[in-house]
């Protein structure tokens, strides 16, 4: 866990959340699903003028609504209360009521709904009306689609399930013209298109929910996906700055982890733009300087990391390519006080900058890492001044005279062959950070290129990193390409699952075309990857084929997916 003393921004307690519920009423239109939306008042305290789904805060009185609410066997009491609140709010705002008669079970008619009073000042009045008319709420037909928690930077926050139900037949929405205006049925794709043109303002959760709805063919398919009673996703987005504008991201998106590391309390302060001229502070003791070598293989460029502070001196991880300007920026970022230079591996975008950087420093810091193996290609040959041992600790120590405190930053070495035979990762122990080199990337999977790369070693190294994250309570991964990753163990688990799923697909391709060539298997196993990426994918294909054949030669260790090879 990151030391509070190393955070860039002082702790700020986010506003508390209030329980709420919103309801997406769906119907099947001539061109697909349509959803009912309404425009909020311009005077509203939350999302003024935005097109939203009906809903609102959960009232304590909604608990009393259980007496007239229907509940399916798998529906929890919490879900039932949320559904009651959403049905009530939808009635008050749009005059649509999900209810049926106690006697006979017939759906409530539009005329009965129109005769009810929508202006009651409390939830009890709504429930009393329903009970007096012999109605029960059809809350057993309301399902949980998603769970949103309002972003930490906003002053008014809600914890809100996005619920779904089919629109009752025969009823017509009528806005209350106080909180809500202009009810409209709209296809999710059309709403998104209008929003992109600036003609249909929606807030972030609404936009992302509609995007997910675009994949469903009809209302039945949505309700089937929600029948397991768990939200399809849960998100508390985070915001940052790109090109000077506010941008927001969900947990699975590339910048989310970096925002969580730099601004854990949700402050809208961190710039996400890739630039190559200035170091980007991530913590007080961690800076990132990206080399200007963006490409298909390197993404936005190779990340060099500077660890330490003015009291302890610095360690530079991956000085990058032999780019004079980049090396000079690293020297200036440290004022030349570099104590060690560490290369995670010997590829040409990671290690060539080591000697030029060393030459600039008056104390000639040692160049550390692992020597390249004989299997390395000529451009990836590298010999450090000293080889690092697995588990070895590199320590920076200093003293802050102002605070009277001793300061220590410790990097522990973990040997991680797989992407390259001489690959290593580093753990910043005091702050629970993993510097993953090319072993784990953000936004793509790394290439494992035989003979220097080995897929079995790569997967075994992932297991070693997962164990290190568990033992060290490591939450963040800082890769050599891309933004910081959060949920370190989850990221490792997803990466390994992806590699094994790809391996199973390759094994099926080999069974389907046992006499096929690598090119034949590539076309089958990577049919979900753009063809312009196939030359790169072919390298990892070769690594998987090598592993599959090795496993096939050892029947005792043979996975069932490979048993016929």
Q: Could you report the per-residue pLDDT of 219-278, keeping only the tens digit for each? A: 999 999 999 999 999 999 999 999 999 999 999 999 999 999 999 999 999 999 999 999
| CA–CA–CA angle 516, 520, 525 (5° rounding) | 115
Q: How far apart are CA 509 and CA 525, in angstroms?
A: 6
Helices (H) and strands (E) in the chain, counts: 13, 24
Six token digits for residue 403: 């605070």
Instruction: Give residues with Cβ within 8 angstroms of 76, minimum separation 6.
Output: 229
Q: Are residues 512 and 450 part of one domain?
A: no
Q: Is the peptide bond before 538 cis (omega within 30 degrees of 0)?
A: no
Residue 564 has pLDDT above 50, yes or no: no
- When pLDDT is averaged across residues 81-101 and rounded to a whole number, the result is 96
DSSP 8-class letter at 64? G
Q: Are residues 426 and 530 part of one domain?
A: no
Q: Are residues 64 and 212 part of one domain?
A: yes
pLDDT at position 238: 98
Interval 479-503: pLDDT, tens: 999 999 999 999 999 999 999 999 9
**Where residue 561 falls among pLDDT bands split at 50, 70, 90?**
very low
**Where residue 123 falls among pLDDT bands split at 50, 70, 90?**
confident
Q: How far apart are CA 484 and CA 262, in angstroms?
A: 10
Residue 79 sits in a domain of what CATH number?
Answer: 3.90.79.10
Q: Are residues 304 and 213 part of one domain?
A: no
Backbone angles phi, psi at 308, to 5 degrees: 120, -170
pLDDT at position 556: 63
Structural domain contains residue 329 = yes
- When pLDDT is averaged across residues 551-562 and rounded to a whole number, the result is 66
Using the 3D structure, point to which of 211, 236, 261 is the last residue of a domain. Answer: 236
| CA–CA–CA angle 90, 93, 97 (5° rounding) | 40
Structural domain contains residue 173 = yes
Structural domain contains residue 321 = yes
Q: Are residues 189 and 58 part of one domain?
A: yes
Return the C-alpha torsion angle 153, 155, 158, 159, nearest 10. 40
Q: Is the peptide bond before 451 cis (omega within 30 degrees of 0)?
A: yes
Q: What percent of the chain has pLDDT over 70?
A: 98
Q: How far apart are CA 261 and CA 281, in angstroms?
A: 11
Domain assignment of residue 202, given as a range: 17-236
pLDDT at position 559: 52
Structural domain contains residue 256 = no
- When pLDDT is averaged across residues 519-534 and rounded to a whole number, the result is 94
Interval 321-370: pLDDT, tens: 999 999 999 999 999 999 999 999 999 999 999 999 999 999 999 999 99
Residue 122 has pLDDT above 80, yes or no: no
pLDDT at position 402: 87
Structural domain contains residue 269 = no
Q: Which of 172-186, 406-420, 489-503, 512-526 has the lowest mean pLDDT?
A: 172-186
**Per the confidence metrics, is the pTM higher than 0.85?**
yes
Residue 95 has pLDDT above 60, yes or no: yes
> Which contiguous run of DSSP H or E holds residue 382?
none
Interval 1-56: pLDDT, tens: 899 999 999 999 999 999 999 999 999 999 999 999 999 988 887 889 999 999 99
Q: Are residues 546 and 467 part of one domain?
A: no
Residue 290 has pLDDT above 90, yes or no: yes
Structural domain contains residue 11 = no
pLDDT at position 207: 97
Q: Are residues 467 and 447 part of one domain?
A: yes
Residue 130 has pLDDT above 70, yes or no: yes
pLDDT at position 466: 98
Interval 385-430: pLDDT, tens: 999 999 999 999 999 988 889 999 999 999 999 999 999 999 999 9
Average pLDDT, the chain: 94
**Where residue 557 falls among pLDDT bands split at 50, 70, 90?**
low
Q: Are residues 547 and 400 part of one domain?
A: no
Q: Are residues 199 and 69 part of one domain?
A: yes
Q: How far apart are CA 141 and CA 130, in angstroms?
A: 17
End-to-end alpha-carbon separation of the chain, Å?
Answer: 45
Q: Are residues 180 and 88 part of one domain?
A: yes
Using the 3D structure, point to which of 431, 452, 486 is the last residue of a domain. Answer: 486
Q: Are residues 278 and 182 part of one domain?
A: no
Q: What is the largest CA-CA distance in the chain?
A: 90
Structural domain contains residue 7 = no
Structural domain contains residue 493 = no
Classified as helix, coil or strand, 441 is coil
Using the 3D structure, point to which of 486, 509, 527 is the last residue of a domain. Answer: 486
Q: Are residues 517 and 433 part of one domain?
A: no
Q: What percent of the chain has pLDDT over 90?
A: 90
Residue 373 sits in a domain of what CATH number?
Answer: 3.60.15.10
Classified as helix, coil or strand, 331 is helix
* Number of domains observed in the structure of the chain: 3
């Amino acid at each position: 866990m990151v030391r509070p003393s190393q955070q860039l921004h002082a702790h700020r307690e986010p506003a508390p959340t209030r329980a709420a519920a919103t309801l997406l009423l769906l119907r099947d239109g001539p061109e697909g699903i349509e959803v009912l939306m309404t425009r909020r008042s311009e005077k509203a305290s939350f999302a003024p003028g935005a097109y939203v789904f009906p809903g609102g805060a959960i009232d304590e009185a909604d608990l009393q609504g259980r007496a007239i609410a229907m509940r399916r066997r798998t529906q929890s009491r919490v879900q039932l209360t949320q559904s009651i609140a959403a049905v009530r709010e939808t009635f008050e705002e749009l005059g649509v009521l999900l209810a049926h008669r106690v006697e006979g079970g017939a759906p409530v008619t539009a005329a009965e709904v129109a005769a009810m009073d929508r202006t009651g000042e409390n939830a009890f009045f709504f429930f009393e009306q329903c009970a007096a008319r012999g109605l029960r709420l059809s809350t057993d037909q309301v399902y949980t689609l998603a769970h949103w928690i309002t972003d930490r930077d906003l002053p008014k926050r809600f914890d809100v399930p996005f619920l779904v139900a089919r629109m009752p037949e025969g009823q017509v929405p009528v806005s209350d013209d106080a909180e809500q205006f202009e009810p409209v049925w709209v296809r999710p794709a059309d709403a998104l298109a209008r929003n992109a043109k600036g003609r249909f303002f929606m807030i972030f959760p609404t936009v992302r929910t509609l995007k997910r709805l675009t994949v469903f063919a009809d209302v039945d398919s949505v309700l089937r996906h929600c029948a397991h009673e768990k939200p399809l996703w849960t998100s508390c987005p985070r915001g940052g700055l790109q090109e000077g504008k506010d941008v927001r991201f969900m947990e699975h998106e590339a910048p989310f982890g970096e925002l969580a590391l730099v601004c854990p309390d949700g402050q809208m302060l961190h710039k996400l733009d890739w630039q190559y001229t200035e170091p980007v502070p991530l913590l007080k003791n961690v800076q990132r300087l990206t080399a200007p070598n963006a490409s298909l293989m390197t993404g936005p460029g190779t990340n060099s990391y500077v660890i330490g502070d003015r009291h302890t001196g610095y360690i530079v991880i991956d000085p990058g390519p032999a780019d004079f300007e980049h090396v000079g920026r690293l020297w200036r970022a440290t004022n030349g006080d570099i104590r060690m230079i560490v290369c995670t591996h010997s590829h040409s975008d990671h290690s060539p900058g080591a000697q030029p950087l060393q030459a600039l420093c008056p104390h000639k810091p040692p160049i550390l890492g692992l020597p390249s193996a004989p299997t390395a290609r000529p451009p990836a040959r590298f010999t450090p001044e000293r080889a690092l041992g697995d588990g070895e600790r590199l320590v920076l120590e200093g003293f802050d005279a102002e605070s009277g405190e001793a300061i220590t930053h410790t990097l522990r070495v973990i040997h991680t062959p797989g992407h390259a035979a001489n690959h290593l990762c580093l753990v910043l122990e005091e702050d629970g950070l993993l510097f993953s080199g090319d072993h784990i990337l953000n936004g793509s999977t790394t290439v494992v290129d035989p003979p220097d790369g080995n897929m079995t070693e790569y997967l075994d190294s992932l297991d070693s990193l997962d164990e290190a994250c568990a033992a060290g309570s490591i939450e963040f991964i800082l890769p050599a390409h891309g933004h910081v990753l959060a949920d370190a163990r989850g990221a490792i688990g997803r990466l390994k699952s992806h590699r094994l799923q790809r391996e199973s697909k390759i094994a099926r391709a080999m069974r389907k075309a046992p006499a096929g060539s690598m090119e034949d298997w590539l076309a089958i196993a990577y049919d979900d990857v753009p063809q312009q990426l196939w030359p790169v994918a072919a390298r990892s294909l070769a690594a998987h084929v090598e592993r599959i054949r090795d496993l096939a030669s050892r029947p005792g260790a043979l996975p069932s997916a490979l048993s016929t090879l």
